[in-house]
A = this chain, B = another copy of it.
Amino acid sequence: MIGSDGTETQSEPAMSWREGYIAVDWGSTNRRAYSVDADGQLVAKIEDAKGVLTVGAGGFERAAAEIREALGDRAMLIAGMAGSNRGWREAPYVDCPADAQALSQAICWVEAGRVGIVPGVCQRGASADVMRGEEVQALGAVAAGLVPEDGLICHPGTHAKWIAMRDGRIDAFRTMMTGEVFAMLRDHSILAAQIGGKVSADDSFAAGVADALGGADLLASLFGIRARHLLGGGRNDARYASGLLIGNDVRTALPGRAAGGTVALVGAPALCALYSAALGQMGTVGHVIDGEAAFLAGIRRITEFL
């Protein structure tokens, strides 16, 4: 194999990927490793809390060896925060629009042709944005036929990501601090005592979504939760606050979007259900897809270019 700088060569390492491999989704707080056989079938998996922040600098060789001990001595392709500046090796971002071939060519090799880290994807300029991990799921979702080539994918969570596909490539995306801001408000703000409860898509949630879709300002509406509480509210504040934030997220990511479209949702089922409800309020269908299947299909697609 010849590296992108033309200096690194190796005899036929690519063959090993056809014989099966280990795919690792290595995030900040968790890791999931999958053993895939020569037929592309998942044969074993492990999942634990040894995320990048727990493993820490210097711990990755050992942490990767543990994966091999559990799943066998196979070539390994890793995606997610393991490729960040707090991870094993920093894998520089690939610019949008990005496809599986571009990611494959930019793999950061820890062990040439044998242990690689898939780069994240970035957008530069006025809409500067970054992702690490979601790009594999997005490309895999299209490869597996879960999402159309020009589909829209939403990954709700701490940093919610909306990814617009075009001709099967990642064309553009937008990240919103939705989940993180909700957690800060719940844990640290004047609203803490009010919004700690369980959230579900009830009338209070719908009222928050409706206010957000109607253009209400987020920071004013949030103080309104406090005011309504003091004045005798009668509304579930946690659900209203969640509806406000998720509604703001949906409104922003789909500006001027005609009703009737579809958004593929990848994430925790309870959170996807809230996003589906919010999308439904604007006439858009939220369709939950299998994130694990998307990830495995994405890694498989990337190995096809090795």
Contacts and interface: CB of A to CB of B under 8 A. Distances in A.
A130 B175 contact: no
A67 B169 CA distance: 70
A305 interface: no
Given A219-B218, A220-B252, A231 B180 contact: no
A95 to B, nearest CB: 10
Interface stretch (A38-46, A138-146, A183-191): A183-191
Interface stretch (A1-9, A121-129, A262-270): A121-129
By size class, the interface of chain A is 35 or more
A70 interface: no
Interface in A162-193: 174-178, 180-181, 184-185, 187-190
A220 B184 contact: no
A122 to B, nearest CB: 6
A269 B162 CA distance: 40
Interface string A197-224: 0000000000000000000011110111
A249 interface: yes
A91 to B, nearest CB: 12
A227 interface: yes
A17 interface: no
Contacts of A233: 128
Interface string A124-164: 10011110000000000000000000000000000100000
A16 to B, nearest CB: 32
A21 interface: no
With most chain B CB atoms within 10 A of its CB, the pick from A180, A185, A187, A228 is: A180
Nearest to A176: B219
A217 B217 CA distance: 10
A71 to B, nearest CB: 31
A258 interface: no
A128 B174 CA distance: 32
Nearest to A174: B220
Interface centre among A187, A218, A248, by most B CB within 10 Å? A218
Interface in A83-141: 85, 93, 122-124, 127-130
A180 B189 contact: yes
Interface of A: 85, 93, 122-124, 127-130, 159, 174-178, 180-181, 184-185, 187-190, 217-220, 222-224, 226-228, 230-231, 233, 245, 248-249, 252
7 contacts: A123-B227, A128-B227, A175-B227, A181-B181, A181-B222, A218-B218, A219-B252
